[in-house]
Each structure stands twice: as structure tokens, then as C-alpha cells.
């Protein structure tokens, strides 16, 4: 291997409706990977058809699904059927944590999503632990305590 040559070990795709949210997630993933000397092939999609077509052509190692409501659930179910080994972070406005567990999602985040919570999800990808329900619950408990 030539000195200084970067090899993409991870193929990461982000599926979201919001361009701003997609850019923010890409920035956070890029910064996280750069700090660890990782150089992923990172792509953003706002159209599910294009996302799944890309996943069919070349399997994803990792995916972030950040779609509202049942659209997110359907996308995660479809991705899991298409690519059983893809590591998934699922961000949703509805509590689909039981579905996330059933679908073997690596990390589930209930909106609003903090950078710290998302970073924890990215760490889960690297260390291989399934902690989706644990952090989501702790995150929500913290939010509920602030509401009082």
C-alpha cells in the first residue's frame, strides 16, 4: 500500500428528508471517523428509491435512517431485508424501540437527538455492542427530568 493512501473500510449511507439534517449527520460522522483515522465512503440520500438502489448495487456496511414516523420503520424493515449485515442507527420522532430491537438495529435514537447521543451510536458501530434501548432510555430519562 502506498504511503498516505486512504482506503474506505466503511460504506456509510444517510437517508433523511431534510438536507440540513443530512448535512449535520454527515459532518458529525466525518468528524467522528477523522478523529479515529477512518475514511469512509459517505453518501447522503433524501430519496428512498435511490437509497435502496445504491444499497442493492453495493451493500452498505453502515446506514443512518432518519425519517419520521412509519416512513422510518418501513425504511429500516426494507434495509434489513435487503442487507441483513448492515449496521444501522435509526433516528425517529416516534418510539419504535421495540421494533428497533426486533430488527436488530445497532442504535435507536428518539428525537430530539443530541450530538452526544449520536456519537454514542457511532461508537456502537465500532465496538459492536448493542446498546440501543439502554442509551435511548437514559437519554429520555434525562430529558424528562429537565421537563420538571
Cell output for 138: 437514559
pLDDT at position 138 over 50 = no
120-135 pLDDT tens trace: 999 988 776 554 444 4
Residue 137 has what pLDDT? 41
Helix, strand or coil, per DSSP, at residue 42: strand
Instruction: Decide if 72 contacts 92 (C-beta within 8 A).
Output: yes
Spatial separation of the C-alpha atoms in residues 31 and 22, rounded to whole Å: 14
Identify the residue with better confidence: 27 or 132: 27
69-86 pLDDT tens trace: 999 999 999 999 999 999
Spatial separation of the C-alpha atoms in residues 69 and 98, rounded to whole Å: 14
Identify the residue with better confidence: 143 or 60: 60
- Phi, psi at 46, each rounded to 5°: -115, 0
Amino acid at each position: 500500500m502506498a504511503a498516505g493512501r486512504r482506503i474506505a473500510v466503511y460504506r456509510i449511507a444517510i437517508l433523511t428528508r431534510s438536507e440540513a439534517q443530512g448535512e449535520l449527520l454527515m459532518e458529525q460522522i466525518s468528524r467522528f471517523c477523522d478523529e479515529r483515522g477512518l475514511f469512509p465512503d459517505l453518501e447522503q440520500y433524501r430519496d428512498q428509491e435511490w437509497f435502496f438502489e445504491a444499497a442493492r448495487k453495493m451493500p452498505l456496511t453502515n446506514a443512518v435512517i432518519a425519517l419520521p414516523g412509519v416512513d422510518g420503520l418501513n425504511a429500516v424493515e426494507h434495509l434489513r431485508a435487503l442487507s441483513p449485515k448492515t449496521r444501522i442507527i435509526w433516528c425517529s420522532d416516534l418510539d419504535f424501540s421495540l421494533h428497533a430491537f426486533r430488527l436488530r438495529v445497532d442504535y435507536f435514537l428518539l428525537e430530539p437527538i443530541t450530538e452526544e447521543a449520536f456519537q454514542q451510536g457511532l461508537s456502537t458501530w465500532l465496538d459492536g455492542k448493542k446498546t440501543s434501548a439502554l442509551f435511548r432510555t437514559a437519554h429520555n430519562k434525562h430529558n424528562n427530568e429537565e421537563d420538571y
